[in-house]
A and B are shown apart, each in its own frame.
Chain A
Amino acid sequence: MATEPQIYPSKRFRFEIKDNLWKWIFLVPAVAIILILLAVPVLWTLYAAFTDLHLYRIGDFDTKFVGLANFEKLLSNRSFWRTARNTVVFMLGVVPAQLIIGLTVALALNNITRGQKLFRTWFLMPLMVSPVVVSFIVGRMLFQEDIGPINDILRSFGFEGVPWLTSPTWAMVALMAIDVWQWSSFMILMLLAALQGVPPDLHEAARVDGANQLQAFWRITVPLIMPITMTALLIRIIDAFKVVEIIMVLTGGGPGQATESVTLAIYRTGVKGGDLAFGSSQAYFLLIVLMIFGGAYLFLTRRAMGKD
C-alpha cells in the first residue's frame, strides 16, 4: 500500500511498445497548463517589478519602466524588513515545535498497537480544516482576551489573563500556537510512516549488542528516518514562509506590525493598495529567498546524508 515505502529500481515499469501519439496527448495538457499558469505569472510579476504599474492611479499615466527603483525601495523599507523578520521568527517558532511534537507523538503512536488506527484518523482532522476556520476557532475564540476559555482557565488558577492579541509578543505566540495545532499532524503522520519503515529486528539487534534504548534510537532509528524527516521539514519550512491566512483572520498583522508576514504585506500593498509594482518586487524577494533557501537546504542535507 501507499503507506509503505517502495523500492523499484529492479522492476520493469516502462513500455516496450512505442506509442508516440498518446505519449504526448497524455503529457502535454498538464505541462501546458502548468507552464502557462506558472510562467505567465512569474514573467508578468518580474515585468511588473521593474515598472510603476498601479491599479488605482487617477488620471492618464503611461506605465514606465523604473529599473531597480522598486527593489531599492524594498531594501530601504523598514516596514518590509519588519515583515521579513516576523516571517522568519514565525518559521523558527513553529517548525521546531512541530518537529518535537511530531516526533513525540509519532513515537508514542508507533509504540502501541491497540487504537493506533483510531488515533491516526483523529490526528488527520486538523489537516482537513481550512486555515481560516482554524484561525477563527482556535485563535479568535480560544485566545479571546476577555472571556475566552484560555484566559478564563488561567484566571481561575490565579494567574493574570494574557494579552493574547494586544501584546506584540503574545500575538505572535498565539499565531504560532494555531499553526502548531494544525500542522503538527502532518509531522506526526510523516514521521509515523518513517518509523514504520524501520525494521524492528535492526532495533532488536542493537539491543542485543548491549545498546540501551536511547542509544539504539540514536544509532538505528534516527539515521533511518532522517531522509523523510528532512523532506517533511522542508515542506513545513516553505509553508511557514508563506503563512498568511491565519494572520489575516486573527490579527490582521497587528498589533502595530508585529505579526504581519511577507505574504500579507504583498497582499496589502499589491491587491488591497493596488501598488502592483511594489507588491511584485516583494513577491520576487520572497521567491528568491525561498529558492536560495530550498536549494541550500537540499544541497546540504543531501551532502550530509551522503557522508553518513
Chain B
Amino acid sequence: MGLAAQKRVRTIISYCILGFWSFILLFPMYWVVITSFKNAIDMSIKATYMPFIDFQPGLHAWRYLFVDRLTWFLDPFMNSVLVAFISSTVALVIGSSAGYALARFDYGGRNNSIVLGFMSQRMFPGALFILAFLVMFRELGLLDTRLALIIVYSSGAIPFIVWVMRDFFEGLPVEIEESAMIDGANRLGVLFRIAMPLAAPGLVAVFVLSLIGAWNEYLVALTLTFREAITIPLFMTMQVSQTGYTEWWNMSAISLVSVIPVVAAGMALEKYITGGLTFGALKG
C-alpha cells in the first residue's frame, strides 16, 4: 500500500471516528427536541423515535411553557439572566484589571505566586463553601437574594479571569502603552482605551465562560436561594420531584430554553471559547 493510499485510509477512519462521536453527542439532543413535541401517550407505552412516523408531534409542552405558565417561568429565567450577566461583568472588570496589573507591574518578584494563589481556589471543593456561605449569607440577611449569587459567582470567576488575562496582556506589546503614558494618559486610560481593546478576544472568551458557568451553576444556588431568587437549573429540578411522575415533555421544553442561549453563544464564539478553555493549560 502506498503512502497516499495509507493516508486515504487514515482520513476515512478519522471521519468515521468523528462521525461516531458526533452522533453520540447528537442523539441526546435530538431526543430532547423530539420529546418536547411528544404527548403523554407517546411515552407511556413504548419509545418513539421519529416525529410524524411513529408519533404525531404536538405543541402542548411549548404552549404550557410560554402561554399557560409563562409568568411562573419568567422569574427564574430573569434571575438567571441578571445573575449571570452582572456577576460576569463584575468579575471581568475586577479580574482583568488584576490580570493586567500582574502582567505589567512587578510585585516583588512574586507575580507567579500570586497567580498560583488565585488558581489554588480551584482545588477547594465546592462543598467546603456551601456550608460556610449558608451561615455567612444568613448573617448578612442575603439568603434568597440575587446579590448573594452575584457575589459568589463573581468571586468564583475571578481567578480564572486573572489567570487567562494575565497571559493575554503579557502577549501584548508594552511599548504602545508606554508611549501613550509619555503623552500624558493615565494608567486607567491606558487600561481601558488601549490594553482592553487589544485584549478583546481574550475578554470575550473569559466573559462568555464566566457567563456560562454562572448560568449553569447548581449547588450554590440550591443552598443559597429558596423561592424569590431561584435560577433556571434549580427551577428545573423542582419540577421533576413533584409527584413521582415526570412530565418529560414539559421538562424537555424547559431544558431546551435553558440550553439554547448558552450553546448558541458558545458555539458562535467557538474560536475564543476554545482559546479560553485551553489557554492556561497550554502554558503548563
Contact = CB atoms under 8 A, between A and B. Distances in A.
Nearest to B3: A207
Contacts of B103: 13-14
Contacts of B100: 26
A15 B259 contact: no
A29 B162 CA distance: 12
Contacts of A92: none
A41 B129 contact: yes
Interface stretch (A74-82, A163-171, A214-222, A231-239): A231-239
B125 A290 contact: yes
Interface residues of A, number: 106
Contacts, number: 321
Interface string A167-180: 00000000000000
Given A105-B18, A128-B267, A283 B128 contact: yes
Interface in B262-282: 262-263, 265-267, 270-279, 281-282
A255 interface: no
B128 A105 contact: no
Interface string A118-143: 01111111111111111011101110
Interface of A: 1-3, 5-6, 8, 12-17, 19, 21-23, 25-27, 29-31, 33-34, 37-38, 40-42, 44-45, 48, 101, 104-105, 107-109, 111-112, 115, 117, 119-134, 136-138, 140-142, 147-149, 152, 181, 184-186, 189-190, 193-194, 197, 227-228, 231-232, 235, 238, 241-242, 244-245, 248-249, 262-263, 266-267, 270-271, 276, 279-280, 282-284, 286-287, 290-291, 294
Interface in B232-271: 232-233, 236-237, 240, 246, 248, 251-252, 255, 258-259, 262-263, 265-267, 270-271
Interface of B: 10-11, 13-15, 17-18, 21-22, 24-25, 27-29, 31-32, 35, 43-47, 49, 94-95, 97-98, 100-107, 114, 117-118, 121-136, 151-152, 154-155, 158-159, 162, 167-172, 174, 177-178, 181, 186-188, 191, 201-202, 205, 212, 215-219, 222-223, 232-233, 236-237, 240, 246, 248, 251-252, 255, 258-259, 262-263, 265-267, 270-279, 281-284
Contact of B126 (A34, A44, A242): A242
B121 A190 contact: no
Given A26-B100, A129-B216, A131-B216, A14 B174 contact: yes
A189 B277 contact: yes
A1 B275 contact: yes
Main secondary structure of the interface of B (DSSP, over half): helix
A226 to B, nearest CB: 10
A204 to B, nearest CB: 11
Contacts of B273: 124
A136 B28 CA distance: 10
